[in-house]
Amino acid sequence: MSTLRARSPVSYLLALPAALWMLAALIVPTIFIVWVSFWATRTFSLASPLALINYAKFFSRSTYVKLLVDTVQQSLLLMAITLVLGYCIAYFIVVKVRRPQLQLWLFLLLVVPFWTSALIRTIAWIPFLGVTGVINQALLFLGVVDQPVSAFLYSLTGITLAQVSFYTLLATGPVAYTLRNVPPSLREAAQCLKATPLHVFWRITFPLTLPGVVIGQILVFLNVMADFATASAIGGNKYAFLGNLVILLYDSGQLPFASVIAVLLMLCMLGGVAVLLKMVDIRRLGVA
Amino acid sequence: MAEHDLELKHVTKRFGTFVAVNDLSLVVEPGQFICLLGPSGCGKTTTLRLIAGLEEADAGEIRIAGARVNATPPWQRDIAMMFQDFALFPHMTVERQVGFGLEMLKRRKDEIRRRVREILTTFEIAPLAARKPDTLSGGQRQRVALARALITEPRILLLDEPIGSLDFSLREAVMLELKDVQRRLGISFVWVTHDQNEAFSLGDRVVVMNHARIEQVGRPEEIFERPRTRFVATFVQGHNVLDGAVESVEGEQVRVRTPVGGFVVPARELPPPPPGTTVSFSVRAELLTERPGPEHGNRVRATCHAVEYLGSVRRYDLRLPDGRSVKYEQFAAAAARIAEGAEVTLGWRPDEGVLHLPADGRT
């Protein structure tokens, strides 16, 4: 079937199963959530009117709006940290480590935690962060502090630490991929054209890996925006993001209001991705 | 100008246990066109990278314009380099690309713009200024790479197989153009190639390398007419190499016994090796004759195996009694031709052979 032309009837037919699946699993539920968010009453009947009352309720309470701002802020913070950290790790593994064998091992080291369940990874942080946890024991042993620091567990610091550890890989992978596609001869050519290593990085290496950077940032952004498990396990009940609020409202049966927040979350994500994609043409990924 | 443009003194480079460049010494005078010629893996590209500063020498000294540069990074050396794949920056327009070197040297914006325009005009690529590399043809890329390398007016331009990736039909024209550029600018070129035609038609001097060492340095004619080692004679096309042992020394000539007969070979500047020494010598394909006269003292029987017609010459592939192949080139206009399968006597004058350095007496 190598002669299959795009937009021929056959090609549409072949795309049908996937399209149906997308429709059932993604499009219909999304439409449904949007619809529910306009319900004016808590329980549904076809006669009940649609209204903006739920949205009005969200924006009239500053606690809810602050939660939205906090969530976006946390995402931006995580993006900034994982960008620098992820890029450094990718650069080290791809450019500085020359032996392919060692490269592979380092990469596995990075990926293996990602294969374990998110729940286990989250819970695993608790013995690290607690008052009698590994970090505090180490700090006490080294004499950096004379009393255990309680700010790690059940705090934003703890949540951020855990999220950085979960999501750095997402920022590292795409960068490593694009970095590998930059021929070393480009860096060498730049050096022979009087560019210092710093100039080589900012003028050659970084621009050529920008698609990888942006894709990594999109992945981190979407994951942090949607992350509720880390906040509830490590933040205790003291910290919450929009995702936590959705769960809370869902559990208490306030479906329309939960949908409002879900819709707002989706809009933020779409907006963020749109902004990031404006920055670079990711279809150029791997074109070096 | 008393100082050399470039001087390598006993330079050695190892990668692990592999010796890529072994005790290499070489001098390049201002304005010289030097070709490093050798098979792949002989160390010619590593030598070039050592000069550029992209590799660090393990031993020896590298001097550019008299100053030792062993510890100088590439961006501070007075060189430019053209890479085999041109290494154009895919995200920069031709204009940006060519101006990159000046930008790194912190030249003023208007100066950069003016000089880029000048050099683009010189290389006839001004209309491409706004294009990106992936929209350029091979020949255009090559010109952009050259303009980019030359704009900083380096003392030495290093070229790593600069026309190897071009279409065959383009190569000759590009070769002549590069030679012309080199003459006009008067800067030194160090050109790495595995193609002897490139090396011989371009180089003021040719450096033949093998196994990390220099086999011979000389003008193209010297390399071609007097290959110093057995390797040079086999690597450079057009030579017939024979192996044997010295039978006797007669003044400046030696008599060499080979499986296909005895031959007289001049020792020339070499001290004649004592009888019994294992030696090799070569004689050029076009110096043979199939109708030897009294002056052609060296003779050998051969059977014609194949004939190649190359326009102005006819090249015969003949077989000696021991099965070895011998090449013989004859002007195509010559009256007598050798038919395939015919047996002939090939002869050459005793002073036409070239005795090689003994295998252990490397430079």
Instruction: Write the pLDDT tens digit of every residue in B100-119.
Output: 999 999 999 999 999 999 99
> How much is the pLDDT for B264?
94
Give the residue extent of every domain in chain A. Answer: 61-284
C-beta atoms of B83 and A287 within 8 A: no
What average pLDDT does range B69-98 have in this prediction? 95
Residue B360 within any structural domain of the chain: no
Distance from CA of A285 to the nearest CA of B (A): 12
Binned at pLDDT 50, 70 and 90, residue B161 comes out as: very high
Cα A134 to Cα A141: distance, rounded to the nearest angstrom: 10
Query: In angstroms, how far is CA B326 from the centroid of its own chain?
Result: 23
Share of chain B above pLDDT 70, in %: 98
**Beta-carbon count within 10 A of B201 CB:** 14
Q: Say whether A193 and B89 touch across the interface (CB within 8 A).
A: no
- Higher-confidence residue: A36 or B24? B24
b/e per residue A34-64 (b: at least 16 CB within 10 A): eebbbbeeeeeeeeeeeeeebeeebeeeeeb
Mean pLDDT over the full length of chain B:
92
For residue A3, what pLDDT is reported? 60
Q: Please tell me whether residues B315 and B278 are part of one structural domain.
A: yes
**Planar angle of CA B158, B44, B172, nearest 5 degrees:** 60
Query: Is the Cβ pair B87, A191 closer than 8 Å?
Result: no
* pLDDT of residue B362 exceeding 50: no
Question: pLDDT tens digits, chain A, 288 residues: what are they?
Answer: 456 666 788 888 888 999 999 999 999 999 989 988 888 776 666 666 778 888 988 899 888 899 999 999 999 999 999 999 999 999 999 999 988 899 999 989 888 878 888 778 888 888 888 777 888 888 888 888 888 777 777 788 889 988 998 899 999 999 999 999 999 999 999 999 999 999 999 999 999 999 999 999 999 999 999 888 888 888 877 788 988 988 888 888 888 889 999 999 999 999 999 998 888 776 655 443
CA B77 to chain centre: 25
Given this model, what pLDDT does residue B360 score? 54
Are the Cβ atoms of A196 and B85 closer than 8 angstroms? no
Question: Which tens digits make up the pLDDT trace of B41-70?
Answer: 999 999 999 999 999 999 999 999 999 999
Q: What is the CATH number of the domain that holds B323?
A: 2.40.50.140
- Closest partner residue to A193 among B53, B85, B104, by Cβ? B104
Summarize the confidence of residues B187-216 as an average pLDDT: 95
Do B175 and B236 fall into the same domain?
no
Residue B290, min C-alpha distance to chain A (Å) = 52
CA distances from A274 to A77, A215, A268, B217 (A): 19, 12, 10, 62
Is the Cβ pair A189, B91 closer than 8 Å? no
Q: In the listed set B175, B208, B225, which residue is the last one of a domain according to the structure?
A: B225
User: Do B199 and B253 reside in the same domain of the chain?
Assistant: no
Q: Do A183 and B87 touch (CB under 8 A)?
A: yes
CA angle centred on B103, ends A182 and B135, rounded to 5°:
45
Bridge pairing between strands B79-82 and B278-284: unpaired
B254 & B336 share domain: yes
Q: What is the mean pLDDT of residues B188-198?
A: 95
Residue B109 lies in a domain: yes
Tell me if B90 sits within 8 A of A208, measured CB to CB: yes
Last residue of a domain, one of B198, B225, B252: B225
Q: How many CB pairs under 8 A join A and B?
A: 64
Q: Is B234 found in the same domain as B211?
A: no
Q: Which domain holds residue B59?
A: 6-225
Give B64's contacts in chain A (Cβ within 8 Å).
none
Which DSSP state fits A194?
A: T
Q: Please tell me whether residues B96 and B163 are part of one structural domain.
A: yes
- Number of structural domains (chain B) is 2
The model's pTM is 0.84
Question: Given the structure tokens 């190499």, which residue do they identify?
Answer: B241
Please answer whether residues B35 and B193 qualify as being in contact, where contact means their C-beta atoms are separated by less than 8 angstroms: yes
Same-domain pairing of B78 and B203:
yes
Whether the per-residue pLDDT at B1 is higher than 80: the answer is no
Q: Among 3.40.50.150, 3.40.50.720, 1.10.443.10, 1.10.3720.10, what is the CATH number of A61-284?
A: 1.10.3720.10
Q: φ and ψ at B246, to 5 degrees?
A: -65, 130
Question: Which CATH number fits the domain that encloses residue B102?
Answer: 3.40.50.300
Q: Residues of B with CB below 8 A from A185's CB?
A: 83-85, 87
Task: Mark whether B181 and B251 lie in a shared domain.
Answer: no
3-class SS string, chain B:
CCCCCEEEEEEEEEECCEEEEEEEEEEECCCCEEEEECCCCCCHHHHHHHHHCCCCCCEEEEEECCEECCCCCHHHCCEEEECCCCCCCCCCCHHHHHHHHHHHCCCCHHHHHHHHHHHHHHCCCHHHCCCCHHHCCHHHHHHHHHHHHHCCCCCEEEEECCCCCCCHHHHHHHHHHHHHHHHHHCCEEEEEECCHHHHHHHCCEEEEEECCEEEEEECHHHHHHCCCCHHHHHHCCCEEEEEEEEEEEECCEEEEEECCEEEEEECCCCCCCCCCCEEEEEEEHHHCECCCCCCCCEEEEEEEEEEEECCCEEEEEEECCCCCEEEEEEECCCCCCCCCCCEEEEEECHHHCEECCCCCCCC
CA dist list (Å): B354 to B271, B273, B321: 13, 14, 22
Q: Is residue B334 part of a domain?
A: yes
pLDDT of residue B302: 94
Q: Which residues of A touch B135 (CB under 8 A)?
A: none
Min distance B143 CA to chain A CA atoms (Å): 15
Whether B165 and B59 map to the same domain: the answer is yes
Whether ipTM exceeds 0.85: yes
**Chain B residues with CB inside 8 Å of A191's CB?**
53-54, 73-75
List of chain A residues whose C-beta atoms are within 8 Å of the C-beta of residue B79:
192
Domain end residue (candidates: B204, B225, B246): B225
Q: Between β-strands B156-160 and B79-82, what pairing exists: parallel, antiparallel or unpaired?
A: parallel
Question: Which pairs from A29-37 meet CB under 8 Å and 24+ separation?
Answer: A30/A266, A33/A259, A33/A262, A33/A263, A34/A259, A34/A263, A36/A255, A36/A256, A36/A259, A37/A256, A37/A259, A37/A260, A37/A262, A37/A263
Same domain, residue pair B107 and B171:
yes
**B133 in any annotated domain:** yes
Q: Tell whether the model's pLDDT for residue B290 goes beyond 50.
A: yes
Nearest to B54 among A183, A188, A287 (CB): A188
Same domain, residue pair B254 and B117: no
Is the CB of residue A194 less than 8 Å from the CB of residue B152? yes
Same domain (yes/no): B132, B253: no
Mark yes or no for CB contact B91/A207 under 8 Å.
yes
pLDDT for A285: 52
